[in-house]
């Protein structure tokens, strides 16, 4: 595929997999994806499986991500996980502001922005998620909603930090529903996101930022989605929980 930006495909395992199941999955992925160099492959297991999975991926092309992170450093923050803890397991990426975090756990754009700064301060890379609900899309508010989320979630980032940030456009109505955005719907929003980035951070930065699509990505639709000019990878939920489907998504995208 002839794009300047290297595709990045990340599996978001959400609150799934015991340690043993996580190891099965990652060991299967290692066998399937050992030779893939064209795509950055990332897996984001639950915190409890980071230790095992991090050991399993040593020396492979599979990189590790976390699903969220505290905006604070070590200290009295019961239940939270600090950047310094993630770094012990060679975590490189951190998903921030996933719609489940926003909707179920009340994360706001302002909080996502703080977390993004903390992720960068630790020299990790955030994957910042944005996306509209079905009601918002039907009301013609997609760009307004995504524009507001983008602006608010990236407050305070320098252009250099923005370049090292990954965005994920995940229409809420497509997550876990089996309903994928059409390639045209995805490309439209991705192009809008890139235009906003250009206005805020400059053309050069906007051209370098990778924007993933997420929401019911499957082996059958991966190639077409990834073929869009402004789609630079995928954030995969359900289909990342099985070796076959995640491996096929990666292979079909090359």
Q: Return the residue of 146, 157, 205, 236 that touches ligand PGA, per CB under 6 A.
A: 236
The minimum distance between CB 121 and ligand PGA, in angstroms, equals 25
The minimum distance between CB 100 and ligand PGA, in angstroms, equals 7
Residue of 215, 203, 206 lying closest to 240 (CA atoms): 215
Site string for ligand PGA, 144-183 (x = CB under 6 A): --------------------------x----xx-------
Q: How far is the CA of 132 from the CAs of 5, 49, 172, 219, in angstroms? A: 25, 31, 6, 24
CA atoms of 146 and 97, how far apart (whole Å): 12
The minimum distance between CB 214 and ligand PGA, in angstroms, equals 4
- How many Cα neighbours within 13 Å face the side chain of 70? 17
The minimum distance between CB 36 and ligand PGA, in angstroms, equals 20
Site string for ligand PGA, 185-224 (x = CB under 6 A): -----------------------------xxxx-------
Residue 101 or 205 with smaller CB distance to ligand PGA: 101
Enzyme catalytic residues? 98, 170
Query: Under the criterion CB under 6 A, does residue 103 sit at the interface with ligand PGA?
Result: no
CA atoms of 175 and 212, how far apart (whole Å): 14
Q: Tokens in use for 9?
A: 């495909």
In 3-state terms the chain splits into helix, strand, coil percentages (rounded to 5) of 50, 15, 35
Q: Is 10 left (phi over 0), alpha (psi -120 to 50) or beta?
A: beta
DSSP code of 126?
E
Q: Which stretch binds ligand PGA (CB under 6 A): 38-46, 118-126, 131-139, 236-244?
A: 236-244
Residue 205 or 232 with smaller CB distance to ligand PGA: 232
Which residues of the shown chain bind ligand PGA in the complex (CB under 6 A)?
Answer: 12, 170, 175-176, 214-217, 235-239
């Amino acid at each position: 595929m002839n794009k300047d930006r290297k595709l990045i495909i990340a599996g978001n395992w959400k609150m799934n997999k015991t340690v043993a199941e996580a190891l099965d999955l990652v060991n299967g992925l290692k066998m399937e994806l050992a030779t893939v160099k064209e795509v950055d492959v990332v897996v984001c297991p639950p915190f409890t499986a980071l230790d095992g999975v991090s050991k399993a991926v040593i020396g492979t092309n599979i990189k590790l991500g976390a699903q969220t992170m505290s905006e604070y450093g070590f200290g009295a923050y019961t239940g939270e996980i600090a950047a310094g803890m993630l770094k012990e397991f060679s975590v490189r990426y951190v998903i921030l502001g996933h719609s489940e975090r926003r909707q179920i756990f009340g994360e706001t754009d302002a909080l996502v922005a703080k977390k993004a700064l903390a992720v960068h301060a630790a020299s990790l890379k955030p994957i910042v998620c944005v996306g509209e609900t079905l009601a918002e899309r039907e009301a013609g508010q997609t760009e307004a909603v995504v524009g507001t989320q983008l602006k608010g979630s990236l407050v305070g980032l320098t252009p250099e930090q923005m370049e090292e940030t990954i965005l994920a456009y995940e229409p809420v109505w497509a997550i876990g529903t089996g309903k994928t955005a059409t390639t045209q719907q995805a490309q439209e929003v991705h192009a809008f996101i890139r235009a906003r980035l250009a206005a805020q951070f400059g053309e050069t930065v906007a051209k370098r930022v990778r924007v993933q699509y997420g929401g019911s990505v499957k082996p059958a639709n991966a190639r077409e989605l990834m073929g869009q000019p402004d789609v630079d990878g995928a954030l995969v939920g359900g289909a990342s929980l099985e070796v076959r489907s995640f491996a096929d998504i990666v292979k079909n995208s090359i």
